């Protein structure tokens, strides 16, 4: 079972960025914990601040991997291109957000990914990534 976590812009700052919203842990540290919890899964991680790189990664993995966990961060609310990429690939995509985007500013309520996601997990902090992995097992 091959699963990749794809994180979008500013999520490289996890641990430093607005810790009251996003927590104190870096994603690299959390990813180590995740890997140890799911030994049976081949788990990969990709982060980019660049929209086209996220689209390229979705194309690269989207016809061979078993699952994609996508937190497109701010691009969730703006990127028709990432939404189209999710629609165009075969691997199911679970959309994850650390914060509850529906309890935040209005502009965060829209998602260009949601209409083509297999499922959506929001507001559970970093634990949302673990829940998303479980949903593929």
Token readout for 8 is 């979008």
Task: Write the Ramachandran bin of 54: left for phi over 0, alpha for psi from -120 to 50, otherwise beta.
Answer: alpha
Minimum CB–partner distance for residue 102 and ligand DQA (Å): 10
Rounded distance between C-alpha atoms, residue 112 and residue 102, angstroms: 14
Of the candidates 98, 117, 121, 133, which one interacts with ligand DQA according to CB under 6 A? 98
Helix (H, G, I), strand (E, B) or coil at 11: helix
Catalytic residue annotation: 22, 97
* 69 is an interface residue for ligand DQA by CB under 6 A: no
Shortest gap between Cβ of 41 and ligand DQA (angstroms)? 21
Nearer to ligand DQA, 91 or 111 (CB): 111
Does residue 99 belong to the site contacting ligand DQA (CB under 6 A)?
yes
**Does residue 65 contact residue 1 with C-beta atoms inside 8 Å?**
no
CA distances from 69 to 20, 52, 106, 107, 113 (A): 23, 17, 24, 22, 12
Which position among 68, 101, 113, 121 is part of the footprint of ligand DQA (CB under 6 A)?
101
Which residues are near ligand DQA by CB under 6 A?
10, 71, 73-74, 76, 97-99, 101, 108
Q: Which residues are annotated as a binding site?
A: 71, 77, 84, 98-99, 108
């Amino acid at each position: 079972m091959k699963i990749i976590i794809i994180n979008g812009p500013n999520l490289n700052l996890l641990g430093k960025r607005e810790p009251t919203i996003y927590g104190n842990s870096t994603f690299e540290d959390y990813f180590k914990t995740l890997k140890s919890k799911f030994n049976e899964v081949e788990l990969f991680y990709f982060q980019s601040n660049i929209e086209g790189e996220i689209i390229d990664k979705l194309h690269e993995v989207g016809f061979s991997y078993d699952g994609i966990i996508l937190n497109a961060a701010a691009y969730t609310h703006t990127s028709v291109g990432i939404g189209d990429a999710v629609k165009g690939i075969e691997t199911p995509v679970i959309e994850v957000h650390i914060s509850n985007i529906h309890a935040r500013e209005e502009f965060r309520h829209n998602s260009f990914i949601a209409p083509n996601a297999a499922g959506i997990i929001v507001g559970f902090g970093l634990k949302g990534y673990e829940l998303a992995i479980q949903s593929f097992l």
